[in-house]
Amino acid sequence: MAAPVVVHAPDSQGGRRVLAHGRILGVAYNAMELLDLLEEAGMEREHIHLDDADLIDWKDGGAWEWGPSEP
């Protein structure tokens, strides 16, 4: 089963598009903003583990890669 949250590769400004269950939540520029988006979507912050592959599918980089993408 696919992870319910997908965090896409950083864009040219360093933002990462975030989807949960196929719904776009927004763009996060750091881990705290990601946690805020997930909490706004109804997840409990204390149960979110950024390294949990069953929860989050990181595209092109992991939880601590937030800089702009290379051209």
What percent of the chain clears pLDDT 70, i.e. is strictly above it?
96
pLDDT-derived band at 71 (thresholds 50, 70, 90) equals: low
CB 67 within 8 A of CB 14: yes
* Separation CA 7–CA 68 (nearest Å): 14
pLDDT, tens digit, 9 for 90 and up, residues 4-13: 999 999 999 9
Distances (CA, A) of 42 to 25, 34, 38, 48, 50: 11, 13, 7, 11, 16
CB 28 within 8 A of CB 18: yes
Dig out the tokens for 60 from the structure.
């092109």
pLDDT, tens digit, 9 for 90 and up, residues 26-46: 999 999 999 999 999 999 999
pLDDT-derived band at 63 (thresholds 50, 70, 90) equals: confident
Dig out the tokens for 15 from the structure.
């933002």
